[in-house]
Chain A
Amino acid sequence: MTRELKRVSVVVFLMFLTLFVSTTIIQYFQAGNLDGDARNARSIYASYDTERGPILVDGQPIALSVPTTDEFKYQRTYPAGPLYSAVTGYYTLGQGSSQIEQSLGDYLSGTSDSQFLDYLNRLVTGQNPQGASVELTIDPVLQQTAYDALGDQRGAVVAIEPATGKILAMVSKPDYDPNSLAVHDTQQVIDTYDSLLAADGDPLINKSINALYPPGSTFKIVTTAAAVQTAGLGIDHTEPNLARLPLPGSSNTVSNAGGGTCGGGDTTTIATAFVLSCNIPMAELGMEIGEGALGDMANAFGFGAELSVPMDVSASLYPRGLDDAQVALSAFGQGSDVATPLQIAMLSAAVANGGTLMTPTLVDEIRAPDLSVLESFEAKELGTPLSSVTASTLSALMVDAVESGAGTNARIDGVSVAGKTGTAENGEGDPYTLWFTGFAPAENPRVAVAVVVEDGGGLGQDGTGNEVAAPIAQRVLEAGLNR
């Protein structure tokens, strides 16, 4: 009997060994996967146990967690409603988050690597973990001005401090109220989310960094920069002044806005073409200097770069392998080049900053609950697309464009404003995409801005960048002067 008992003991031991192994597999090896499962409500509850850190603008919270009596302990609220929706994004009950709420989620929830010791300490002492606070670079006055100026138009406004790369304003419309997605009723959140997802104009998309538009004439900044700096041409370099340019290898033609020639005479200069925003000379110039010079200059300005501000920015694109006709179109921002409003603001910012492009960011400072600084802003150069000489040449051209050229609606009394309009075609009969980008004051730039208005500003193919986008930019630039 003893032999049998021994064998049964071994079987019992093996049974328990199996249980030791199975629990280890679940609680250790598979724990990460199981915690990450979308159906795991515990991860959601756990994230709500944390007092999520606030998002601050000029010391005032634009997103904060307030204690509640329900099972989630804290309610996320956005005191300014839709004003900052493009910046903060939303934070939902288990249905994801976006923008800063997502990209700095680790810090806000107190689970970033730099907060690990603090997290452990609170876990052991039984205190509720607390998240870090994030101070943004946003200027509340500029944000409000940009938000009001864009009004009910669809599009985006981005303002940057040229010397530092700090993003001062970021607006995307149509907007939404992030409070509507912060409610603690999952079904209601899903319904709201679905209706926002289906809504006209994609309110959930932050158009300032995640929408790619044809840059239109704002791209002439790149073309001119490439001509002057890369190809070594003067701004008085001439091109044939035609009223209609047949595209090589195609039956299509290019015409100037308004249909005539670019000023008078048989030839026209780069300067005239830039100030009056003529397409034909730019197309000719583009074919002359070629795709390589254009593309390299575009990339120097940030096209093709994977930026995070800290939200991931969609990479603007200047494609390669174009034929002559496509190069001609690309030189004035048509064809297949596309850009985000942030990228277009970066064009102005680089010119404004003497040719040096600063890395754009929204984050000024991240502080732990004990107020120790986890991360602080540091101005970083992204690159130097222009020499200071080229930068001042372009700056002067942009001032002329506002003073007496295609961008007159951005003028501010007593201040020299530099700018460039854009009126991009989208397709046969489709409304235009209207642009303005610029900076002020030209001699000592404080703020650079890009404005994009979709759907021709409601004017179909009659609206222009100067008519619709320039006045919006003007208000933002004016507000920026008082900084």
Chain B
Amino acid sequence: MTGVSAPVAVETPTKGVRRIRVPQKLRNLELFLIILVCSVNAFAVVLVQFGALGYADSTVVYLGAGLSILVFGMHIALRFVATNADPFILPIAALLNGIGIAMIYRIDIAEELTGWESTAVRQVVWTAVAVAISIAVILVIRNHRVLQRYTYIAMLVAAVLLLLPMLPGIGQEINGARVWIHVGSFSFQPGEVAKIALAVFFAGYLVSRRDSLSMVGTKFLGMRFPRARDLGPILVLWALSMSVIIFQRDLGTALLYFGLFVVMIYVATGRASWVVLGVGLFLAGGVLAGQVLTYVNDRFTNWFDAFNPANYEAVGGSYQLVQGLFGLASGGMIGTGLGQGRPDITPLAQSDYIIASLGEELGLAGMFAVLALYLLFIARGFRISFAGQDDFGRLLGVGLSFTVALQCFIVIGGVTRVIPLTGLTTPFMAAGGSSLVANWIIVALLLRLSDTVRNQPRLVI
């Protein structure tokens, strides 16, 4: 009897129960949805091939499969680092992304683009990059509250990103808007990523300053307006938006930033006066810009009187808007079917006008489905804010969700003539790497936020 074996006997049961397997109900639901979504995406690509080519081409299917693997990779990452994350956000993003690729691929076929010329191939690669970055974000940011520490760094990042296209040498003007940077054969729209930095900055800034922004002020017309010295931030943002309109000639992005700020300051302070001030300032600036800047004025003219032959035939006129409407109309209730319409007639059918292309081939039914998907995505984001415990997280959640909502409204509203047409990308769908990267980062942040919300200890009374 040496007593040597005794500790071994004690250790054995501990090893066996070292890890208690808890069924990951949310993740299993997510897995099921992802499988469903990947099948739908593959089916869409095959339909496009049969509709537009008349036969199936396996190479594109391989690319799609590669993409599905990345989405599964993200799902697996969530199983380890964000067990309680919302199970709907990832599948919805993957579905919208996949339908977008199918549509872009369909227009490639119409325009006979193949190989690296093909926008769809580049979109697939960009999606891979975006999902990879998204995985990285979810792995690196284990707690969203660390972002609050970088409030002012986020502001700096946003400012630099916004100013980059203005730099000579790398800044590039496409279709009249100076919002791209160009290095080698690689172009990027930094403003897309800037919106995330702005949301982080707004959330951090408003959490720390909300009291002074909401409590004091003078009452006027039944509303408490802020003191002049507290007007600083909104005036800075207004100036920023106006400079985007003037120097980058990008009405949509300006509206997006400013709308984001107004909503976040309203949620933070609960003061309707901020909304009144914000909307008033933006309208005044917009009207002034319409008077002074011809491109803004043109947008309004094209909107009001799109079918006027003078506007229709003018350079930079309403041709695109009207052709988009024709496309939507020819889709009707059930659409022409994937690959069976003529979405390529409309300029920028893969990027700014992808929603019109979808409406043409999938009809009003498909349009409603896509709108419902966005609405569901945004609702999941808002849910985080409703359930959240820390104000920074709640503000960040509403900010990120609202950018997606507002961007959808600006783009789809522009295409369907609710508001003047401005060049913005349809989240997840439109061809373009910067937009994909930005929106997949939003996916990662929303997933991280939702995981934190569910993990929070609840106050039980």
A residues within 8 A CB of B406? 15
Contact assessment for A15 and B409 in the assembled complex, using a CB-CB cutoff below 8 Å: yes
CA–CA, A11 to B378, complex, Å? 12
B364 interfacial contact with A, CB 8 Å: yes
Q: How far is the CA of A22 from the CA of B341 in the complex (A)?
A: 21
Minimal Cβ-Cβ distance residue in B for A123? B337
Cβ-closest chain B residue relative to A4: B267
A19, B416: Cβ atoms closer than 8 Å: yes
Complex: chain A residue closest to B406, CB-CB: A15
> Which A residues are in CB contact (< 8 Å) with B382?
5, 8-9, 12
How far, in whole Å, are A34 and B417 apart by their CA atoms in the complex? Answer: 14
Which of the candidate stretches B12-20, B75-83, B146-154, B320-328 sits at the interface with the other chain? B320-328
Kindly identify which residue among A18, A33, A126 contacts B418, using a CB–CB cutoff of 8 Å.
A18
Select from chain A the residue with minimum beta-carbon distance to B334.
A123
Q: Are A23 and B345 touching (Cβ within 8 A)?
A: no
Q: A5 near B267 (CB under 8 angstroms)?
A: yes
* Measured CA separation A228–B367 after assembly (Å): 73
Using a Cβ–Cβ cut-off of 8 Å, how many residues does chain A contribute to the interface with B? 37
Q: Say which residue of A15, A40, A126 sits within 8 Å of B330 (CB atoms).
A: A40
**Are the CB atoms of B398 and A27 closer together than 8 Å?**
no
* Contact of A16 with B371 in the complex, beta carbons under 8 Å: yes
Interface string of B294-327 (1 = CB under 8 A from A): 0000000000000100001000000000100111
Contacts A23-B328, A27-B331, A34-B326; A1 near B267 (Cβ below 8 A): yes
The answer, yes or no, to whether A30 is at the interface (CB within 8 Å) is yes
Q: Please determine whether A28 and B332 come into contact, CB atoms closer than 8 angstroms.
A: yes
- Residue B238 at the chain A interface, CB threshold 8 Å: no
As a 0/1 sequence over residues 33 to 46 of chain A, the CB contacts with chain B under 8 angstroms (1 = contact) are: 11101011111011
When distances are taken between beta carbons in the complex, the residues of chain A under 8 Å from B50 are 126
Q: Does chain A have a CB within 8 A of B368?
A: yes
In the complex, the answer to whether A42 meets B341 with C-beta atoms within 8 Å is yes
- Assess the B368–A28 pair: CB atoms within 8 A: no
The residue of chain A having its C-beta at the shortest distance from the C-beta of B345 within the complex is A41
Chain B 280-299 against A: per-residue CB contact (8 Å), 1 yes, 0 no?
00000000000000000000
Q: Are the C-beta atoms of B417 and A22 separated by less than 8 Å?
A: yes
Q: Which residues of B contact A9 (CB under 8 A)?
A: 379, 382
Q: Which of B64-93 contact A (CB under 8 A)?
A: none
Interface residue A24 (Cβ < 8 Å from any Cβ of B):
yes
A22 to B324, CA, bound (A): 13
Known A-B contacts A1-B391, A2-B386, A23-B359; A16 and B375 likewise in contact (beta carbons under 8 Å): yes
User: Is B258's beta carbon under 8 Å from chain A?
Assistant: no
Q: Does chain B have a CB within 8 A of A26?
A: yes
Q: Give CA–CA (A2, B388) in the complex, Å.
A: 10
A26 contacts B398, C-beta separation under 8 Å: no
Q: Contact at B371–A19, with CB atoms within 8 Å?
A: yes
**Which B residue sits closest to A33, measured CB to CB?**
B329
Instruction: Identify which of residues 137-180 in chain B touch chain A, using a CB-to-CB cut-off of 8 Å.
Output: none
A483 at the interface (CB under 8 A from B): no
Q: Is the CB of A19 within 8 A of B408?
A: yes
**B332 and A126 form a contact (CB under 8 A):** no
Contact A28–B416 (Cβ < 8 Å) = no
Q: Is B31 an interface residue (CB 8 A)?
A: no
B333 within 8 A of A: yes
- A-contacting residues of B (Cβ < 8 Å)? 50-51, 263, 266-268, 270, 307, 312, 322, 325-333, 337, 340-342, 345, 359, 363-364, 367-368, 371, 374-375, 378-379, 382, 385-386, 391, 394, 398, 402, 405-406, 408-409, 412-413, 416-418
- In the complex, the 7 A-B pairs of residues with the closest C-beta atoms, listed nearest first: A34-B329, A22-B416, A27-B364, A31-B329, A42-B330, A40-B326, A15-B409
A-side residues, CB < 8 A to B, are 1-5, 8-9, 11-13, 15-16, 18-20, 22-28, 30-35, 37, 39-43, 45-46, 126
Name 6 extra pairs, CB < 8 A, besides A5-B385, A34-B326.
A15-B408, A16-B409, A20-B368, A27-B332, A34-B329, A40-B330
